Copies of this chain bind each other. A is one copy, B any other.
Amino acid sequence: MQIFYKRLLLSCFACMCLLNGFLFSSKVQAQNKTTQATWIWYPGDFEVWLSNQMQNRRTERGTFFPPFWRMDSHYVLVEFHKEFNLTQPEEIELFTEGQYNVKLNGKMLSGYPKKLQLAAGRQKINIKVYAQDKVPAIYINGKTVKTDASWLATFEDKEWIDETGKASDASGTTYVNAGTWNFNSPNQKPSNFKLSTKPKYAIKTDVKGASRLIDFGQETFGFIKLHGLKGNGQLRIYYGESKEEALSPQKCETIDFVDVNLAKAQDSTLQLSKAFRYVQVETDAGVKLDSVSMLYEYLPVKDRGTFTSSDAELNKIWQVSKYTMELTTREFFIDGIKRDRWMWSGDAYQSYLMNYYLGFDEASVRRTILALRGKDPVTSHINTIMDYTFYWFLSIQDYYQYTGDKQFINLVYPKMKSLMDFCLQRRNQNGFMQGLSGDWIFIDWADGLSKQGEVSFEQLLLCRSLETIALCADLAADDKASAYYKNEAAQLKTKFFNSYWNADKQAIVHSRIEGKQTENVTRYANMFAIFFDYLNTQQKEGVKKNVLLNDKVQKIMTPYMRFYELEALCAMGEHDYVMKEMKNYWGGMLKLGATSFWEEYNPSKKDTEHYAMYGRDFGKSLCHSWGASPVYLLGKYYLGVKPLTAGYQQYLVEPHLGGLQWMQGTVPTPNGDISLYCSTSAIKIKADSGTGTLRLKSKIKPQAKGISVKQIGPNYYELSIPSNKEYTVKYKL
């Protein structure tokens, strides 16, 4: 643990030079708690405020294109406080975002103090801040008194006084731990937050008259910079993820028109960042331009997860997946970088999972979960989509399992309850979720997919959501609610199988309409039921044969649902098959020149057909977070690393080469990394913390110095791996 911190501090200093003082690793926050002051706010408020900014930056052909769901706001008036017991007097400095007042030991101080002298002994500091346009926030720094997540905050302190001047006891006030990120100096005001940028240059420019086509070599995101701009007239920029898009002024999805009126040549950077690989820049006769470059805009996330293997194509798939995640991991985890640039709960759910095998950036997961949920009252499903509400629940169980962060569960649990209330109140007379007015049943982009009646997929996700909230109720010690949710989950599960399992088909059917099973079988509910572990062995085999490996069942065309389809197959041990599918599907995109992975890929389409979607020639996103799932599959099912208890205190390593000769990689955990090398005859493993179980098939009894080996089945063994030392295991696949 100590070593890990040291390592992080070093990288922190490195970042501070490079990245304007911002560091985006969640680990630093834990460290802040004891040693570093940081800006604090009402938890969730900065996230809501920042997500409003980000999600209202979408444009479509120059027109503002905001979301269609409710956007919330921060609390404009917030009280922060903490008690200290000082051994010595100390001076503290105070910085705020907003108008404020200060109470010291219950006594209001005059004016707007910027420094405070604290005496030794018990000291209570209350600060109340008002801001409408930004999030009320404070930063206090003294020798021992510092703002951090241990401060308490409320949006209603209820501190009235009666006619005698006596204050109320404010006992009805709910205080919560303050929200933080990594704004660790007075000048790093939360309201000034910007992503980092660095210059990038074109690899090729083709000039044709007044038009030039600039190729940046790969999918990218940032601000176009116009060098040596001069003259009078208009300059038009047509962005393209493909060359064809940039060369299509009438149909490209994003554009910028710049009115130029410059007597002297100067460099000019566009205000709004965009996604592209190519840009076509067209100038009026009166406008001159030397060259075009860009400022690449990104969230600095520490490189942690790695993967290489004996298969060069697979390595490229992993690298392009990683880059796809880099591009879509921004203020929040977003869907695609060209078009929506919004948070979508179902998309983000996958980003979280991939992130656990890449940067392990806990803070970005928390930000996205909080911003997606917004504030009460609940007036619609998250993103208006029923399934996306359920993914939001599921994401919290994963977050806890991977990070072990119980404090976040306590923060988010009340928000889970009100959202679950909303869901349960919308069940129909059969106790099933069915689309009501304003509910979008999404599931997947798939031709002719029925959303009518009681869709089995939605009930399955509700059931898992109920199990998740019951777990969180346990963590929050809300026993009554836990019992209630567990009972609801159990009842629903029973009813689900009674209602949707078709013994003849040996599969879950797609839906019920007017209380009767339809004949339709789709992959969705079937594959989720597998990795939810809801099926018995016989049912699993039935589903595998009749659904997953049955070409007559409608095929999945999005990487989004391929994620789950391949996960289900991995969960059933079909690693060799999935390896082939991965190489076919993602390798297929690479063969078409993809430099990031797509929103949808249908191998049967040709040429520019690949770029079309939503009835628009270039409607498809060519960099979509859900395209990056190989990162997750390779980490969890091939390197085979996953937490068994919250926060990787205990974890499993069950490597599967899936036909590879060797693979090696690193999986990040909250307290260090797990490194693994695996060939057909040897495994090297080292973990910085936690207790690991290495589980493997071997034709010989595995051997490792200092580790006992337990046989758990025919040619099947388990080894218990201590932390902080590299172990080599000899075996035979």
Q: Which residues of A, 113-161, contact B by the 8 Å Cβ criterion?
A: 128, 130, 132-133, 155-161
Bound CA–CA A61/B446 (angstroms):
66
Measured CB to CB, the residues of A under 8 A from B are 49, 52-53, 56, 60-77, 99-101, 108-112, 128, 130, 132-133, 155-161, 163-165, 168, 170-173, 376-377, 379-380, 384, 418, 436-440, 445-447, 613-616, 619
Given known contacts A63-B109, A70-B156, A112-B64, A52 and B132 CB-to-CB distance under 8 angstroms? yes
Bound CA–CA A384/B72 (angstroms):
23
Which residue from chain B places its CB closest to the CB of A67 in the assembled complex?
Answer: B77
Q: Is the CB of B163 within 8 A of A64?
A: no
A492 CB to closest chain B CB (Å) equals 24
Q: Is the CB of B172 within 8 A of A438?
A: yes
A-B pairs with the 3 shortest C-beta distances? A172-B438, A165-B615, A133-B133
Residue A437 contacts which of B66, B109, B171 (CB distance < 8 angstroms)? B171
A598 CB to closest chain B CB (Å) equals 14
A345 CB to closest chain B CB (Å) equals 14
Residue A377 contacts which of B376, B446, B613 (CB distance < 8 angstroms)? B376
Q: Enumerate chain B residues within 8 angstroms of A376, measured Cβ to Cβ.
A: 376-377
Q: Enumerate chain B residues within 8 angstroms of A377, measured Cβ to Cβ.
A: 376-377, 418
Residue A133 contacts which of B70, B108, B132, B168 (CB distance < 8 angstroms)? B132
Given known contacts A77-B66, A171-B438, A173-B438, A614 and B156 CB-to-CB distance under 8 angstroms? no
Q: Enumerate chain B residues within 8 angstroms of A158, measured Cβ to Cβ.
A: 68-69, 380, 384, 438, 440
Which residue from chain B places its CB closest to the CB of A376 in the assembled complex?
Answer: B377
A335 CB to closest chain B CB (Å) equals 13
Q: Is the CB of A163 within 8 A of B56?
A: no
Q: Enumerate chain B residues within 8 angstroms of A614, measured Cβ to Cβ.
A: 161, 163-165
Q: Is the CB of A440 within 8 A of B73?
A: no
A-B contact pairs, 5 of them (CB 8 A): A64-B101, A71-B130, A71-B155, A171-B438, A377-B418
Which residue from chain B places its CB closest to the CB of A102 in the assembled complex?
Answer: B63
Which residue from chain B places its CB closest to the CB of A130 in the assembled complex?
Answer: B56
Q: Is the CB of A380 within 8 A of B156?
A: yes
Given known contacts A56-B77, A156-B380, A64 and B133 CB-to-CB distance under 8 angstroms? no
Q: Is the CB of A440 within 8 A of B99?
A: no
Q: Is the CB of B73 within 8 A of A76?
A: yes
Q: Enumerate chain B residues within 8 angstroms of A56, measured Cβ to Cβ.
A: 77, 99, 130
Q: Is the CB of A619 within 8 A of B160?
A: no
Q: Is the CB of B110 within 8 A of A63?
A: yes
Given known contacts A75-B71, A101-B65, A128-B66, A615 and B155 CB-to-CB distance under 8 angstroms? no
Bound CA–CA A62/B101 (angstroms):
10
Residue A379 contacts which of B49, B67, B156 (CB distance < 8 angstroms)? B156
A601 CB to closest chain B CB (Å) equals 14
Residue A70 contacts which of B52, B155, B160, B447 (CB distance < 8 angstroms)? B155
Q: Is the CB of B438 within 8 A of A170?
A: yes
Bound CA–CA A616/B165 (angstroms):
8
Which residue from chain B places its CB closest to the CB of A57 in the assembled complex?
Answer: B99
Between A155, A160, A440, the greatest number of chain B beta carbons within 10 A of the residue's beta carbon is seen for A160
Q: Is the CB of A76 within 8 A of B52?
A: yes
Which residue from chain B places its CB closest to the CB of A438 in the assembled complex?
Answer: B172
